[in-house]
């Protein structure tokens, strides 16, 4: 079975080989501000990763805890099937619009190289990474090794810090979706359902949360990882 599995996998692409080498030895005790992050978002044909495909990827780099606007990544991706109508309604990408887009085989290695040795950030990033890594395994022969941080989980952590330090009434039913959180923290708002703008929105949220959590004593990547693994429930 194991052999068969291996046989099904393609050989490791040079981009993913580079990616694995970068994270072979990884120091979790580095201060957060010394790390480079990439905030990413993907738009899908739908939400079921057995069937659905990536139609666009957007990402923006965060260096020295500043968003480097010009250093971004955006591409439409040509899916193998046509886009179902209901998802077109969400992100307004139509089949004809992405007919000329490159296929995932072309985009993915470039995306992996763009991420480089940055740590990945996204809002509910597990979903995005499920798709990206499924594609990586199929196309590049292995998954991406970059550690990931979920801005949604960091938001839980921040609310917890708030709850402990203030006697304000606790809102138990607050929404943790990206737009609602951005409004709540009074962040500049971007267009929804565009992979690059959503990645930028998540980057703003990440910056906001990290600086607040730093003030609360969260200094190293390990700290960030620890606070980010809690859940509000």
Partner 1 sequence: MAQTDNVHAADPGAVLDFLSSAHPFKDLDRGTIEDLAQQFTIDFFPKGTVILRQDLSDVAYLYLISRGGVKVYLTDAEDVVTLKDFRGEGGYFGALGIIRGSKANLNVETVEDTFCYLLGKEVFLELIQNYPKVAHYFLKRFSEDVVGIAYTELRSQRVRPKGQEGLYLFNARVGDVLKRGLEVIAGSETVQDAAAKMSHLHIGSLLVQDQAGNIIGITTDNDLRKKVVAKALDVNTPVERIMTSPVKSISASAVCFEALLQMMNDQVHHLAVESQDKIVGVVTAHDIMVHQGTSPISLFREIGNQPTIEGLYPLSHKVPLMVRTLIEEGAKANNVTRMIAVLNDHIVNRVLMLLEEELGPAPYPYCWLMLGSEGRMEQTFKTDQDNALLYETPPEEWEQIKVAKLYFRRFGNMAIKHLEACGYPPCKGEMMASNPKWRKPYSTWHNYFERWMSAPEPQAVLHATIFFDFRPGYGRAALGERLRDYLVREAPQKSLFLMHLAKDCLTGKSPLTFFRNFIVEKDGEHKNRLDLKTRGLVPIIDFGRVMALKFGIRETNTLTRLQLLADGDHIPRELYTETREAYEFQMQLRLVHQMQMMEAGETPNNYIDPGELSEVEKQTLKEAFGVINRIQGYLKTELSVVD
Looking at residues 65 to 124 of the shown chain, list those that interact with partner 1 (rule: CB under 8 A).
65-75, 107, 110-111, 114
User: Mapped to the 3 state alphabet, what secondary structure does the chain carry?
Assistant: CHHHHHHHCCCCCHHHHHHHHHCCCCCCCCEHHHCCEEEEEEEECCCCCCCCCEEEEEEEEEECCEEEEEEEEEEECECCCCCCHHHHHHHCCCCCCCCCCCEHHHHHHHHHHHHCCCEEEECCHHHHHHHHHHHHHHHHCCCCCCCEEEHHHHHHHHHHHHHHHCCCCCCCCCCCCHHHHHHHCCCCCCCCCCHHHHHHHHHHHHHHHHHHHHHCCCCEHHHHHHHCCCCCC
Q: Which is nearer to partner 1, 46 or 219 (CB)?
A: 219
* The binder of partner 1 chosen from 10, 211, 226, 229 (CB under 8 A): 211
Q: Which is nearer to partner 1, 66 or 82 (CB)?
A: 66
Hey, which residues does 37 pair with through a beta bridge? 62, 119
CA-to-CA dists, residue 101 to 2, 83, 98, angstroms: 36, 13, 5
Question: Residue from 13, 61, 78, 123 that binds partner 1 (CB under 8 A)?
Answer: 61
Binding test (CB under 8 A) with partner 1, winner from 188, 217, 231, 233: 188
Q: Which is nearer to partner 1, 28 or 183 (CB)?
A: 183
Which of 89, 215 has the CB closer to partner 1? 215
**Nearest residue (CB) to partner 1, 44 versus 67:** 67
Pick the binder of partner 1 from 124, 131, 176, 185 (CB under 8 A).
185
Q: Which is nearer to partner 1, 65 or 219 (CB)?
A: 65
Give the Cα separation of 223 and 216 in Å (integer): 11
Candidate segments 87-95, 132-140, 179-187, 218-226, binder of partner 1 by CB under 8 A: 179-187
- Segment near partner 1 (CB under 8 A), from 10-18, 120-128, 131-139, 204-212? 204-212
Q: Which of 158, 208, 221, 224 binds partner 1 (CB under 8 A)?
A: 208
Binding site for partner 1 (CB under 8 A): 58, 60-61, 63, 65-75, 107, 110-111, 114, 185-188, 190-191, 196-197, 200, 203-204, 207-208, 211-212, 215
């Amino acid at each position: 079975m194991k052999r068969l599995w291996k046989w099904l996998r393609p050989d490791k692409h040079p981009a993913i080989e580079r990616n694995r080498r970068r994270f072979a030895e990884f120091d979790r005790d580095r201060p957060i501000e010394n790390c480079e992050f990439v905030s990413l978002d993907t738009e899908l044909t739908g939400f079921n990763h057995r069937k659905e495909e990536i139609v666009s990827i957007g990402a923006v780099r965060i260096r020295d805890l500043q968003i480097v606007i010009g250093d971004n990544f955006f591409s439409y991706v040509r899916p193998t099937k046509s886009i179902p109508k209901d998802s077109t309604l969400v992100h307004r990408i139509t089949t004809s619009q992405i007919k000329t887009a490159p296929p995932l085989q072309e985009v993915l290695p470039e995306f992996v190289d763009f991420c480089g040795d940055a740590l990945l950030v996204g809002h509910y990033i597990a979903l995005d990474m499920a798709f990206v890594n499924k594609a990586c395994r199929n196309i590049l022969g292995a998954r991406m090794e970059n550690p990931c941080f979920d801005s949604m989980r960091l938001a839980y952590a921040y609310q917890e810090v708030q709850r402990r330090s203030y006697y304000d009434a606790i809102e138990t039913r607050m929404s943790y979706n990206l737009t609602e959180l951005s409004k709540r923290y009074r962040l500049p708002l971007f267009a929804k359902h565009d992979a690059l703008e959503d990645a930028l929105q998540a980057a703003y949220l990440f910056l906001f949360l990290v600086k607040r959590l730093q003030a609360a004593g969260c200094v190293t990547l390990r700290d960030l990882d620890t606070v980010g693994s809690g859940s509000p429930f």
